[in-house]
Amino acid sequence: MKFADLHLHTNFSDGTWTPEELVLQAQKGGLSCIAVTDHDTVEACERAAAACAAVKMEFIPGAELTAEYEDTELHVLGYFLDARNKKLLAEIAKFQAVRQNRIHEMVARINELGVPLKAESVFALANCKSPGRPHVARAMVKAGLVKSLDEAFERFLKKGRPAWVPKSKISALEAVELVHHAGGLAVMAHPGLNRTDSIIPALVSAGLDGIECFHTKHSTAMSERYLEIADKYHLLVTGGSDCHGFSKGKPLIGTVKLPYEHVQKMKEYRSKETAAPSIATK
Ligand code: AMP
Ligand code: ZN
Ligand code: FE
Ligand code: FE
C-alpha cells in the first residue's frame, strides 16, 4: 500500500529541515508522495522537487496560506501550485512583508515587558522570508530568556498573550481564488483546530476543492466528522502530519499516512477540471 503526507514544513518557513533533509526523512518513513506546504511561501518547492526526483518520490508543490473569514483565522492549503505564477509570487511577497513587520512588533512588545530579545536574533535564526512565532520562541530559548518553546507561547506569543500580534490576512475566499489562479487545488487545513465548521459552506461556494480530514491534531472522531463533511459537499479528502522537523519533540512525519488513493483522486479531479471545468465532480 502507498502512502502520502501532504502537510509538511521546511526551513523556508518554520520547519527545521532543509527540503533535502525533509525528503530524506520522508524516504525513511516509507512515503511514496509528499507535498511541501510552507506558511505563505513556495520557495522550498523547487529544491524539494529535485530531491524527490532523485529518489523517485512523487512531489506535489504546495503552500499553507494564512487567511481569515469574518475575523476567524484559518489556513488554506494549495496543492499542485505553479510555484512560478506571477500573481501568487506577488501576493506571497506581501504576506512575507507583513510577517517580517510583525516580528518587529512582537519583539517590541516583548521588550516592553523588560525581556531583552533582539529582532536581529529572530531574523538570524529564522533565516527565511516567512518568519513566524515559532522563530521568536526559538530565539527566546536560544537567548536563555525562556526555558522552552511552550513557555514562550504560554507567556508571550499565543493568542491573548501580551506579545501576540494578529496578522493582516488575505480573505479565505480570495485565498481559494489565488490558489486556483496559480493552477492549484484549494483545501481547508486542519478544520478541527480552528473551530471553523460554520465557514465551510461559504468556502465551498467559493470553490473549495478539498478538506484536510487527517491531521496530527485530529482525533479519530474529528477525522470521521470531516470525512462525512467531505462526502456531503463532494470535497476531496487530504491529510498530513504538519511536521515542522525537530521543532518540538519527535518529528511528526510518518505519523499521519494518507492512503495514496486520495492523491489519485486529486489528480483525476484536476485532469477533469482541465478538460471540462464546469462538469467536474470530485
Ligand atoms: P504564525 O504563523 O507566526 O502565527 O505561527 C503559527 C505557528 O506557530 C503554527 O504553525 C505552529 O507551528 C506554531 N504554534 C502555534 N501555537 C503554538 C504553541 N502553543 N506552541 C508551539 N507552537 C505553536
Ligand atoms: Zn508552522
Ligand atoms: Fe496550519
Ligand atoms: Fe502547517
Q: In this prediction, what percent of the chain has a pLDDT beyond 90?
A: 90
Query: How many Å lie between the centroid of ligand 2 and the Cα of residue 202?
Result: 25
- Please name the residue that has the C-alpha cell 496530527: 216
Sequence-separated (6 or more) residues with CB below 8 Å from residue 86: none
Nearest to 251 by CA among 29, 58, 13, 11: 29
Given a cut of 70, whether residue 97 has pLDDT beyond it is yes
| Per-residue pLDDT tens digits for 139-151 | 999 999 999 999 9
Ligand 1 pocket test: which of 133, 135, 167, 242 has the largest number of ligand atoms within 8 Å of its C-beta? 133
Predicted local distance difference test score (pLDDT) of residue 233: 98
| Cβ of 134 below 6 Å from ligand 1 | yes
Global pTM?
Answer: 0.94
* Average pLDDT of span 3-11: 98
Whether the CB-CB separation of 97 and 167 falls below 8 Å is answered with no
| Cβ of 75 below 6 Å from ligand 1 | no
- The mean-pLDDT minimum among 73-77, 186-190, 212-216, 248-252 falls in 248-252
Nearest ligand 1 atom, CA 64: 10
* Average pLDDT of span 68-85: 95
| Per-residue pLDDT tens digits for 217-240 | 999 999 999 999 999 999 999 999
CA distance 183 to 195: 28
Using 50, 70 and 90 to split pLDDT, how confident is the model at 122?
very high
CB atoms within 10 A of CB 211: 24
Query: How many Å lie between the centroid of ligand 3 and the Cα of residue 77?
Result: 9
* Average pLDDT of span 58-76: 95
Predicted local distance difference test score (pLDDT) of residue 276: 64
Predicted local distance difference test score (pLDDT) of residue 52: 98
